[in-house]
Structure 1
Amino acid sequence: MTRPLHLGLLGAMPEEIGSDLAHLEEPSQEEFGDLVIHRGHWTGDDGAAVQLTLAWSGWGKVCAARTATRVLASAPADNPIDLILFTGVAGGADPSLQQWDVVLADAVVQHDMDVRPILPRFVVPPLDRAVLKPQQAWFEWACKALEGSHLAGELPGFGRPRPGLIGTGDQFIGDAKVLMALRDALPALTAVEMEGAAVAQVAEQEGVPWLVLRVISDGADAEAAQSFNDFVKAYDQRAWNLIATLLRQQASAPLP
């Protein structure tokens, strides 16, 4: 493959990517109603470039699915999206997690999907699966990049990256009882958020690799709302460091 890696980079809010857009070179944008898609490229210290298509979806599964679909469909035929990455913050479902810990999804599930008795709980009808997993080659690439940066001290303030099951639903979870019920139903649940599994479903159905990368903002408990609001303000200043960790490894990306 001779063209650069083309990354579709999505977050629910500007703060979850780094809202100033200063990292985009030769930026342009296209509007679809109230959705703005930004395009440009990022150049590493070695001179290698990554094509970026970037958008902020808004909260929730519908917004995330709409944005992922627009991003994929609006890419030029001769320069399609190679990987779609949804990133941002999440509530911790695993009690061992703390603020600033990093979770790379090794699987995602829509925790509010329930069409019983037609299909088992959590199963997504078009795919006939409850749990979606990223392509192994892309997952291993991201794991290696994140772990390497952490060990090299290039991610100050962030916890050590770890894999985990991320649950998505149209619900901000700030109730310990609700979280406990989800953990009872999904014992491996690591974090909860509102977009990732919807983007994964779109990507799966479109045949495009995907990753979901989250940083823990709160404990999905009674203090979650305040913790979330305070955290997001600080996260805006660090978010791009996490993304750049992956971009710097573009040369080893498992492109077709």
Structure 2
Amino acid sequence: MIGIIGAMDVEIELLKSDLDLEKKSERAQMVFYQGKLKGKEVVLVKSGIGKVNAAVCTQILVDDFSVDKVIFTGVAGAVDKKLDVGDIVISTDTIQHDVNSTVMGYELGEIAEMNKAKFIADQTLISLAKDAGEKLIEEGATIKVVTGRVLSGDQFIADDEKVEWLKETFGGYCAEMEGAAVGQACFLNDLPFVIIRSMSDKADGSADVDYSTFMEKAANRSYRIVEEMLDHI
């Protein structure tokens, strides 16, 4: 069973329209759609925005649906200056950029007493996602598909100085609000995961404008990658 999460309706609607629905159920004010997608058994769910929602959602997928892998799909703001709107970032690992226990002697992003900041994505899922992205390019999509670090925090980033700080401090490729929480929950449950993010904006002073304009197109590209991945899982 494959768990597929998006934070917002726009990030799961296309997948939901393709799903051969077998069962719908509700937990923690989230609706879980269980059925077949590309011939694979999946549970599709909108987690809601933010790290707490994403972590709760992931744990429900583990406890109630016995998923054996998790794919998170959606949009993000570009942190790496080489990325443009529409480009794809596939997570190598993910860090919570808003975790700060430095006063206790920990590194920025490091979780106190857990002694861990990075949550490593599954190499097989990374390869499947990268191959799916390359197929989009072969079909004519004028995008870049890269693997790199996904940064998560309960903040919408729309400031040039903050973007520079995120890049210099963490070496991140993009910023969003859920991926590292999914990564931590998967780590605690010994579950493979990958985060797939299409850039909806550049996380700078124009982010609010870019986000509204390009979110739907960016979400569509993430959707196409997930569907192509499912063909090969």
TM-score > 0.5 by shorter chain: yes
Pairing of 1:223-242 with structure 2 (within 5 A)? 223-242=206-225
Q: How far 1:126 moved relative to its partner?
A: 5.6
Per the alignment, residue 125 of structure 1 pairs with: 112
Per the alignment, residue 67 of structure 2 pairs with: 81
Deviates more, 1:174-183 or 1:162-171: 174-183
1:97 aligns with 2:92: no
Q: Distance in 2 between matches of 1:127 and 1:72?
A: 21
Q: How far 1:233 moved relative to its partner?
A: 3.2
Which letter does structure 2 place at the counterpart of 1:94? D
Per the alignment, residue 28 of structure 1 pairs with: 23
TM-score, length-scaled by structure 1: 0.84
Per the alignment, residue 8 of structure 1 pairs with: 3
- Aligned-partner SS, 1:94: coil
TM-score, length-scaled by structure 2: 0.92
Per the alignment, residue 176 of structure 1 pairs with: 160
Q: How far 1:237 moved relative to its partner?
A: 4.7
Q: Distance in 2 between matches of 1:196 and 1:13?
A: 13
1:70 aligns with 2:56: no
Q: Distance in 1 between matches of 2:208 and 2:22?
A: 34
Which letter does structure 1 place at the counterpart of 2:157? I
Per the alignment, residue 42 of structure 2 pairs with: 52
- Aligned-partner SS, 2:18: coil
Larger radius of gyration: 1
CA contact (8 A) 1:90 1:191 kept: yes
CA contact (8 A) 1:102 1:215 kept: yes
Per the alignment, residue 220 of structure 1 pairs with: 203
Q: Which ranges of structure 2 fall in alignment gaps of 5 or more residues?
A: none
Which letter does structure 1 place at the counterpart of 2:109? F
CA contact (8 A) 2:5 2:44 kept: yes
Which letter does structure 2 place at the counterpart of 1:100? G
Q: Which ranges of structure 1 fall in alignment gaps of 5 or more residues?
A: 1-5, 44-48, 251-256
Q: How far 1:181 moved relative to its partner?
A: 1.8
Q: How far 1:236 moved relative to its partner?
A: 5.0
Alpha-carbon spacing, 1:244–1:158, altered in 2? closer, same or farther (3 Å): farther
- Which of 159, 174, 192 pairs up with 1:191? 174
Q: State the 4+ residue runs in structure 1 displaced beyond 3 angstroms.
A: 233-239
- Aligned-partner SS, 1:59: coil
Q: Distance in 1 between matches of 2:221 and 2:3?
A: 19
- Which of 158, 179, 202 pairs up with 2:185? 202
Percent identical among aligned pairs is 27
Per the alignment, residue 144 of structure 1 pairs with: 131
Q: How far 1:162 moved relative to its partner?
A: 0.9
CA contact (8 A) 2:74 2:219 kept: no
CA contact (8 A) 1:145 1:249 kept: no
Q: Distance in 1 between matches of 2:111 and 2:189?
A: 15
Per residue, is there more helix in 1 or in 2?
2
Q: Distance in 1 between matches of 2:187 and 2:60?
A: 15
Q: Distance in 2 between matches of 1:142 and 1:235?
A: 15
Which letter does structure 2 place at the counterpart of 1:36? V
- Aligned-partner SS, 2:107: coil
- Which of 101, 106, 111 pairs up with 1:115? 101
Alpha-carbon spacing, 1:213–1:173, altered in 2? closer, same or farther (3 Å): same
- Which of 156, 159, 174 pairs up with 2:143? 159
- Aligned-partner SS, 1:200: helix
